[in-house]
Amino acid sequence: MLWPTIILSHLAGVGGDGWTVDYIQYTEGPRTTVQGVARQYFKQDTTSVCLDYTFDIPEGHLAGGVISSQPGQPMLPFEYERHADGVQIQWCNEVSSLQTLPCQVPRFFQFYVIQTEYDPDDLAKLLSEWGHEDSVWDLNLDGDVDGEDLAIALGGWKSNEGTS
């Protein structure tokens, strides 16, 4: 059973030097997904294009899909760096002598931000997905909701310090 999808945004980053980033960002359970395409545009007089963009994302563990060339790792085909409030991507290209200008070069990407703190409601949702494949409650991204995911949730348990 999948939890309702909440569309947070459909955004585009527009660069002044021949690039765009178009993506959607949505949250399901403990996972925020960011997926889209970055494009570099080369004109007749262009020699190189450098893209630099920062995604505003929630706190959490940066991860990627189970089915990829690097299972569990973010599918970000750029140089990237995680900051406290986001992920910054950078991508520079020079015009190749084999390219016919004008042209565009796209790169598709997808990454997840998985929350790292959990509460009783989260535990109930995780347990309701127990044994399911392809669930957003697969916290370790091994393909199944099982004891390892439960251990992650319990390891990130929010304490109620200071309350009576």
| pLDDT above 90 for 111 | yes
Neighbours of 33 (CB within 10 A): 19
Residue 22 · residue 55 · CB < 8 Å: no
| pLDDT above 60 for 64 | yes
- The answer to pTM > 0.95 is no
| pLDDT above 90 for 45 | no
Q: What is the CATH number of domain 6-116?
A: 2.60.40
Both tokens of residue 142? 């091994």
Residues 65-69, mean pLDDT to the nearest whole number: 78
| pLDDT above 90 for 9 | no
Q: What DSSP element (H or E) covers 126?
A: helix 120-128
Quick one: pLDDT at residue 15?
A: 53
| pLDDT above 50 for 140 | yes
Structural domain spans, the chain: 6-116, 118-158
**Tens digits of residue pLDDT in 141-153:** 988 999 999 999 9
Confidence band, pLDDT 50/70/90 cuts, at residue 70: confident
The secondary structure of 18-49 as a DSSP string is: SEEEEEEEEEETTEEEEEEEEEEEE-TT-SEE
Residues 68-84, mean pLDDT to the nearest whole number: 89
Residues 15-20, mean pLDDT to the nearest whole number: 76
